[in-house]
Structure 1
Amino acid sequence: MRKFLEAGRLCSPRGIKGELRFDCWCDSPEFLSKVRKLYLDDQGEKFLEILSYRPTIPSIIFKGYEDRNSASVLTGRTVYFSRDDIKLPKGVYFNDDLISAPVFDVEGNKIGVLKEIEESPRCFYYIVVGENKEYCIPYNDAFVKSVSPEKIVVELIDGLEKDLKADKNA
């Protein structure tokens, strides 16, 4: 389990006071509103202290980077948050913790493991890889019945799977 997770990318400066536009990769920009530090690497070796964070825009000002020129050196950098700084409600998990979780259908048959979570404008999709099939399952109550890092249960319908054997033979 990784301790530092991607928060987003720092974009171009906005104004003259070191404010940087922020492309937030979390569920919503408000998710990070209580975080006081972001990290420049996924090991947590170098951090930036947040002086101001505006989730409505979203934009950030960091201590020591309070003018446009100094802040501009951070443009394009991916920043990370520490999972220790976020308290998730019971039954809610970071996507990172769900990758490789076993996936079962509602009858209890293992269909594969969660390979990745894709985002689209409408919803998230669970990409599940089984022995000979890959499934693209919309993340909503109609298809995803329960979620935990130990086990994901889904309702399958025709059309959600792709035969991997047929693709290899084509």
Structure 2
Amino acid sequence: MTEYFLVGKIVSAEGDKGFLKIDSFSESLERYSKLKKVYLDFWGEKKVFSLQSVKKKKENILLKFENFNDKESVGVLIGKEIFVDDKDLLKLPKEHYFIHDIIGSKVYRNNVEYGEVTDVYSMPGNDIYVIRKTSGEEILIPAVHEFIESIDTLTKVLILKSGEGIYEDDED
């Protein structure tokens, strides 16, 4: 079964030739320029759209789909979320992870299960992992080397460093 991954959202029409301005969640023109197709969500069903053109205008990424040649024809697409399938995901550099690979990971500290990653907040400096501890309490951990020992996305295991004084519950 094909998996789909959210990469952006259409925010408005741009000009009168069928271009669409998008809010890109990957912040990379390269992410779109290598694609031949994307999927848009219509009431829970993914529909394929062939990309005709991708360009950057100032800080914005603009997409143009085949057979959508004017402002009127793209109106129905505004507000739609943009997805790619698992075959079109970008390859990430070492120690970079997709959010969907982190969420659901079991978290260990001092060789004891500590909790599970339930969400990831993307912040300007670094991501923040939301961890629901085994006690039910929710804590926030910066996704930086000072806190994270290792991440294995295949087994969905995240190991926290055991350093004293960096966690509120150092009695663990």
Query: TM tier, shorter chain?
Result: 0.7 to 0.9
Moved beyond 6 Å, runs of 4+: none
CA distance in 2, matches of 1:60, 1:160: 49
Cross-structure match for 1:95:
99
The answer to whether structure 1 residue 145 and structure 2 residue 149 are counterparts is yes
CA distance in 2, matches of 1:160, 1:25: 34
CA distance in 2, matches of 1:118, 1:2: 26
How many positions carry a matched residue from both structures? 160
The answer to whether structure 1 residue 54 and structure 2 residue 50 are counterparts is no
Can you give the 5+ residue segments of structure 2 that lack an aligned partner in the other structure?
none
CA distance in 2, matches of 1:85, 1:28: 14
Q: With structure 1 as the length reference, what TM-score do the two structures score?
A: 0.81
Q: With structure 2 as the length reference, what TM-score do the two structures score?
A: 0.80
Write out per-residue CA displacement over residues 66-96 of structure 1, whole angstroms, 9 at most, x where no aligned residue: 2111112211111111111125247554211
Shift in alpha-carbon separation, 1:160–1:139, aligned structure 2, 3 A: farther
Kindly report the root-mean-square deviation, in angstroms, between the aligned alpha carbons of the 2 structures. 2.6
Can you give the 5+ residue segments of structure 1 that lack an aligned partner in the other structure?
162-170
CA distance in 1, matches of 2:93, 2:8: 24
CA distance in 2, matches of 1:36, 1:159: 48
Task: Decide which structure has greater strand share.
Answer: 2
Cross-structure match for 2:16:
16
Single out whichever of 84-93 and 56-65 deviates more from structure 2: 84-93
